[in-house]
Amino acid sequence: MATITVHPELLLERILSLEIVRVTERAAVSAARLRGRGKEKDSDQAAVDAMRRELNKLPIDGTVVIGEGEIDEAPMLFIGEKVGNKSGPKVDIAVDPLEGTTLCAKNMPGAIATIAMAEAGTLLHAPDCYMDKIAIGPGYPKGTIDLDASAVDNIISLAKAKGVKPSEITAILLDRPRHADKIEAIRKLGASVSLISDGDVAGVIHCAEAKTGIDIYLGIGGAPEGVLSAAALRCIGGQMQTRLIIDTEELRERTKKMGIKDPKKKYEIEDMVKGDCLFSATGVTDGAMLRGVKFGKNMIETETVVMRSATGTVRRVVAEHRQLAKFHLG
Ligand code: VTB
C-alpha cells in the first residue's frame, strides 16, 4: 500500500485549521454571555481572556502582530505578545477577539470573534489606525478596482466586468460622516448603498459571498480589521487594496517603529498577507455571515467559518458545546 507523506509543517497547519476554531468559539461564547448588557469593555475583555487562554494551549510559537493595542495600552493580546505553548511553528497572529464591541453591547447583528494565523513574518504589522480600503469578490480580472480611482469609476469598472449596469451594483460602507460624499456620489450613479454601523471585517468578506448581494466594499475602517479581512480574501479569493492613514506625527513614529518604510504604500492582499494563512470567525450575535451564539438549557451552540488559503477550503462548523454549558465556563 502506498504511504502518503505529508510535510510536518503542512500537517500541523491542517491540524491548526481545526484548532483555531476552538479559539474563536470560546471568545464568542464569552462575549455572548454579556450580549445586550450595554457593556462594551466587559464583553471585549471576556473575549480577550478566553481567546488568550485558548491560544496558549495551541502547539505554536506565536507572536501577536495585530492585537488589542500597544503593550502600554493593552495588558493582554497586545502587539508583540508571545502566545502558544511554544512546541510548534513560529507564526504571526492577528486577532480581533470581539469585532463589533458596540454591536455586542447593543445585541445588534454582526458581532464576531476573529483570528488569522500565518507563518512568522508574513502578516502586515499595522498600527491601530485608520485604513482606506476597497475590495471585491473573486472572478474579476486583475485591475478591475483601484484604490486611487473614485468610488464611481470603480463601480462603473466593476459593473462592466460583471456584465451589469452600475445601477445593479451594491456597495457596502461603514455608516460614518466621513463617507457622506462617497455615499452621495454612489447613489447619484444609481447604485445601491448598504450601510453598516460597525464590523467591516464581515463587510469585506460579504463581497465574496454571493448570497449577500454585496459587490464592493468602499471606505475607511480600522487597519487591524483590514489585515484580518485581507487574510480571509486570501483564502476565498477576491481583490483588495488598502492604504494606511497616517495623519499625525505620533502615528508616523509608531508606524516607522513597526518597520513600515513607506507609510503611503498601496497594499495588495499579498502585501498584507505574504504567505498561506488560516482565518477563523465565530458569530457572537446573528449576522449575514454567521449565526450568533445560542444558549440552550444544556447546550451552547456556535457557528464558525474557518478558511485555509493553501487549499481554499472553507468550513462551516456548527458546534454543540455541552460541557461548556454545564460548567458555565467562558
Ligand atoms: C471598523 C469596524 C469596527 O471600527 O473598522 C471601525 O470594523 C472603524 O472605526 O467594528 P470608527 O468606528 O472610528 O469609524 C469598528 O466599528 C469598531 O472597532
CA of 179 to the centre of ligand 1 (A): 13
Distance, C-alpha 302 to centroid of its chain = 18
188 vs 76, higher pLDDT:
188
Name the pLDDT band for 330 (thresholds 50, 70, 90).
very low
Q: Indicate which atom in ligand 1 lies nearest the CA of residue 198.
A: 16
- Tell me the C-alpha distance between 330 and 325, whole Å: 9
Name the pLDDT band for 96 (thresholds 50, 70, 90).
very high
CA of 87 to the centre of ligand 1 (A): 35
Does residue 326 have a pLDDT over 90? no
Entry pTM:
0.95
Does residue 174 have a pLDDT over 80? yes
Task: Supply the mean pLDDT for the chain.
Answer: 94
pLDDT digits 0-9 by tens, 149-160: 999 999 999 999
Give the closest residue (by CA) to ligand 1 atom 8.
221
- Mean pLDDT for the stretch of residues 30-45: 97
Equal CATH topology for 8-123+277-329 and 130-272:
no
CA of 10 to the centre of ligand 1 (A): 34
pLDDT digits 0-9 by tens, 216-264: 999 999 999 999 999 999 999 999 999 999 999 999 998 998 889 999 9
CA of 198 to the centre of ligand 1 (A): 5
CA of 157 to the centre of ligand 1 (A): 27
Instruction: State whether the beta carbon of 222 lies less than 6 angstroms from ligand 1.
Output: yes
- Tell me the C-alpha distance between 10 and 235, whole Å: 16
- Nearest CA-CA partner of 174 in 205, 208, 228, 218: 218
pLDDT digits 0-9 by tens, 116-148: 999 999 999 999 999 999 999 999 999 999 999
Which of 225, 242, 244, 247 maximizes ligand 1 atoms within 8 Å of its Cβ, making it the mutation to test the pocket? 225
Beta bridge partners of 116: 94, 279
pLDDT, residue 301, reads 98
CA dihedral 309, 203, 280, 293 (to 10 degrees): -150
Q: How many CB atoms lie within 10 A of CB 201?
A: 29
Domain boundaries, the chain: 8-123+277-329, 130-272
- Mean pLDDT for the stretch of residues 37-56: 96
Q: Any idea how long the chain is?
A: 330
Beta bridge partners of 317: 304
Q: Which residues contact 289 (CB under 8 A, 6 or more apart)?
A: 110, 112, 202, 205, 206, 209, 212, 281, 283, 305
Question: Residue 319 is placed in which grid cell?
Answer: 458546534
Give the closest residue (by CA) to ligand 1 atom 1.
221
Q: Which residues contact 51 (CB under 8 A, 6 or more apart)?
A: 23, 24, 26, 27, 77, 95, 97, 113, 115
CATH number of 8-123+277-329: 3.30.540.10
Instruction: State whether the beta carbon of 68 lies less than 6 angstroms from ligand 1.
Output: no
Q: Indicate which atom in ligand 1 lies nearest the CA of residue 203.
A: 7
How is domain 130-272 classified at the CATH fold level? D-Maltodextrin-Binding Protein; domain 2 (3.40.190)
Please state whether 183 falls in left (phi above 0), alpha (psi between -120 and 50) or beta.
alpha
